């Protein structure tokens, strides 16, 4: 049976009510797959990135258990998260989902005074969400008692490992009762995570949202682009994108009913003929909306996936994903609504930087790249409107209707000359074609520098790279022609060593071209470049260096294969 509603998942009615109050219309694929086994108490290992709805996938079963009376003096569940931001975000989500059952949720993380956390723990907490470092602190102090713990969740396990929390995680798991449910979510599944899962889980259910094989021919011919924006900039970014594209007929997909209502109101206020469509509307209201779209008295449909299912509108030209869809397959379904019958279609996706992994999963499924570009600026928009202005002026010229302005223009021409007056009139018309004077949307980097651990480094000092390995004596002469001193990379950046330099005619643009061409980085995301006689050093964001190394190793620079590695001197 297809478990298509939250009620089908056998969640308690209080929780189902909360979800419908939040405007969630149906479970996401990860929720559909993970919730039933988690409710049965099974261990689970799930490969899912941010944006898939994984938080609710593990939180709802925890809360369900709590609502069934599984509530003692000490916490029954512990969620470990790599950063304080994620810990806070998860704690907020769990609090929201658990509002009707009165769940007591506490976030514990470093960098925050410990006393309020101690007080809260003393009063009694059902679910603790914490970063591994701070959880270990509490365990050592005896302030966190996990003797009655029923469920532990490791969220973003790969990130926690990458941040050097492996020892803390082991210590925490060792302190938990053996009889417990162990849930692990990770965007990637490197062997070390699989090993840990084998060690600490029993007969775990495995789920993976991203399916590897693409269905041949399923992806239609659609131009696919994406924009990285912070969540709070999304409404403005959407408006700017729509202003730029002026789609004749578009559907904007949202996650929740609230999002649908807010966006359609906002876009109507901007002059768009936008109509909302979601599961909370009556059949009659929905039919009315669909008719407006079909007879083209509406140009924009703002909808949830559920409401748009089965919707068949031939003339749709654009699909806008206001969020990255919760599963790569739903992206394919959504964009399948345009580009039909050989027509050109456009798919635009807004993604938060954290959701980049979901974009990559979609790219793997569809076998096409989603080109990321900044949200158009006001200047871009004005440039794109030039044609509108030109056509408007030509229309007036063709119509020959200049009544009321002849005498004024004669006076102006006498004073300034015809050219200047024409320029002024065109500038005026162009300004009118431009949108309100709005600020530009800040550009965000594809992957912000990896967050640092929120606790003081203790035994986990960052690795220093030995200078051994490849001989440093690449020849004194070459060394002397290099920069006088190899500066370490800036915070959040890493240096890439490319074994080709001036002697091979390598120029900065060759390096930028190779990196931007082979990896997902754009030229703007590449830092400083130093070129010496024999080698070059390029700063790239720390989080991206492994991908860049891999990409460059399988390509050539100036027609040659060069040694590519992390710079050991930096």
* Residues contributing to the site for ligand AMP (CB under 6 A): 24, 27-28, 31, 50-56, 255-256
The alpha carbons of the chain give a radius of gyration, in whole angstroms, of 28
Q: Which residue, 255 or 385, is less far from ligand AMP as judged by CB?
A: 255
Q: Order of strands, edge to edge, in the sheet holding 105-108? A: 105-108, 127-130, 77-80, 151-154, 181-186, 44-47, 205-208
Shortest reach from residue 15's CB to ligand AMP, in Å:
12
Q: Taking the CB of residue 547, how many other CB atoms lie within 10 A of it? A: 17
Shortest reach from residue 394's CB to ligand AMP, in Å:
47
Shortest reach from residue 18's CB to ligand AMP, in Å:
12
- Residue 23: φ, ψ to 5°: 85, 15
Q: Which residue, 15 or 545, is less far from ligand AMP as judged by CB?
A: 15
Q: Which residue, 263 or 538, is less far from ligand AMP as judged by CB?
A: 263
DSSP count for the chain of H helices, then E strands: 21, 18
Report residue 297 CA to chain centroid gap: 33
Instruction: Give the pairing of strands 151-154 and 77-80.
Output: parallel
Listed residue (130, 136, 117) closest to 82, CA to CA? 130
Shortest reach from residue 141's CB to ligand AMP, in Å:
30
Shortest reach from residue 278's CB to ligand AMP, in Å:
11
Please state, in angstroms and rounded to a whole number, the distance separating the CA atoms of residues 559 and 170: 48
Q: What is the DSSP letter of 280?
A: T
Helical packing angle, 356-366 and 328-335, nearest 10°: 60
Q: Which residue, 7 or 434, is less far from ligand AMP as judged by CB?
A: 7
Listed residue (536, 158, 478, 525) closest to 373, CA to CA? 525
Please state, in angstroms and rounded to a whole number, the distance separating the CA atoms of residues 139 and 351: 38
Q: Which residue, 206 or 256, is less far from ligand AMP as judged by CB?
A: 256
Please state, in angstroms and rounded to a whole number, the distance separating the CA atoms of residues 536 and 137: 44
Q: Which residue, 24 or 165, is less far from ligand AMP as judged by CB?
A: 24
Shortest reach from residue 191's CB to ligand AMP, in Å:
24
Shortest reach from residue 86's CB to ligand AMP, in Å:
9
Q: Which residue, 56 or 67, is less far from ligand AMP as judged by CB?
A: 56
Shortest reach from residue 53's CB to ligand AMP, in Å:
3
């Amino acid at each position: 049976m297809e478990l298509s509603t939250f009620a089908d998942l056998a969640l308690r009615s209080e929780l189902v009510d909360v979800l419908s109050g939040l405007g969630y219309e149906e479970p996401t694929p990860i929720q559909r797959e993970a919730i039933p086994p988690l409710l049965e108490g099974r261990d689970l290992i799930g490969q899912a990135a941010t944006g898939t709805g994984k938080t609710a996938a593990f939180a709802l079963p925890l809360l369900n258990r709590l609502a069934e009376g599984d509530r003692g003096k000490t916490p029954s569940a512990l969620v470990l998260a790599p950063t304080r931001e994620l810990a806070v975000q998860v704690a907020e989500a769990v609090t929201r989902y658990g509002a009707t059952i009165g769940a007591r949720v506490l976030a514990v993380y470093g960098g925050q005074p410990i006393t309020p956390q101690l007080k809260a723990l003393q009063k009694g907490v059902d679910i603790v969400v914490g970063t591994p470092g701070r959880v270990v602190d509490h365990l050592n102090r005896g302030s966190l008692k996990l003797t009655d713990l029923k469920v532990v969740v490791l969220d973003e396990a790969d990130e926690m490992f990458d941040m050097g929390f492996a020892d803390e995680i082991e210590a925490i798991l060792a302190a938990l009762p053996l009889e417990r449910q162990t849930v692990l979510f990770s965007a990637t599944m490197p062997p070390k995570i699989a090993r840990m899962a084998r060690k600490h889980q029993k007969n775990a259910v495995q789920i993976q949202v991203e399916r590897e094989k693409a269905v041949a021919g399923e992806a239609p011919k659609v131009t696919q682009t994406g924009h990285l924006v912070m969540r709070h900039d999304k409404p403005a970014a959407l408006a700017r994108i729509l202003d730029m594209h002026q789609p004749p007929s578009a559907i904007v997909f949202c996650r929740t009913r609230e999002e649908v209502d807010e966006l359609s109101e906002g876009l109507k206020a901007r002059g768009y003929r936008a109509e909302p469509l979601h599961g909370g509307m009556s059949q009659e209201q929905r039919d009315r909306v669909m008719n407006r779209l079909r007879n083209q008295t509406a140009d924009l449909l703002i909808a949830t996936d559920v409401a748009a299912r089965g919707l068949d509108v031939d003339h749709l030209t654009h699909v806008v994903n206001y969020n990255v869809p919760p599963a790569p397959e739903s992206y394919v379904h959504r964009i399948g609504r345009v580009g039909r019958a050989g027509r050109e279609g456009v798919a635009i996706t807004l993604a938060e930087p954290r959701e980049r992994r979901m974009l990559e999963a979609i790219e793997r499924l569809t076998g096409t790249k989603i080109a990321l570009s900044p949200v158009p600026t006001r200047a871009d928009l004005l440039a794109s409107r030039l044609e509108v202005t030109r056509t408007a002026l030509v229309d007036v010229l063709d119509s020959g209707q200049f009544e009321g302005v002849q005498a004024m223009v004669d006076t102006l021409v006498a004073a300034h000359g015809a050219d200047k007056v024409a320029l002024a009139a065109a500038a005026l018309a162009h300004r009118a074609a431009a949108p309100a004077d709005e600020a530009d949307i800040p550009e965000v980097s594809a992957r912000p520098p990896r967050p640092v651990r929120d606790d003081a480094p203790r035994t986990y000092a960052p690795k220093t790279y030995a200078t051994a390995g490849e001989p440093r004596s690449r020849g004194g002469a070459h060394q002397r022609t290099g920069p006088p001193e190899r500066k370490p990379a800036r915070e959040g950046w890493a240096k890439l060593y490319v074994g080709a330099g001036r002697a091979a005619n390598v120029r900065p643009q060759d390096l930028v071209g190779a990196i931007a061409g082979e990896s997902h980085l754009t030229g703007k995301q590449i830092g400083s470049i130093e070129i010496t006689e024999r080698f070059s050093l390029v700063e790239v964001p720390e989080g991206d260096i492994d991908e860049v190394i891999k990409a460059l190793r399988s390509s050539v620079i100036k027609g040659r294969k060069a040694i590519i590695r992390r710079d050991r001197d930096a």
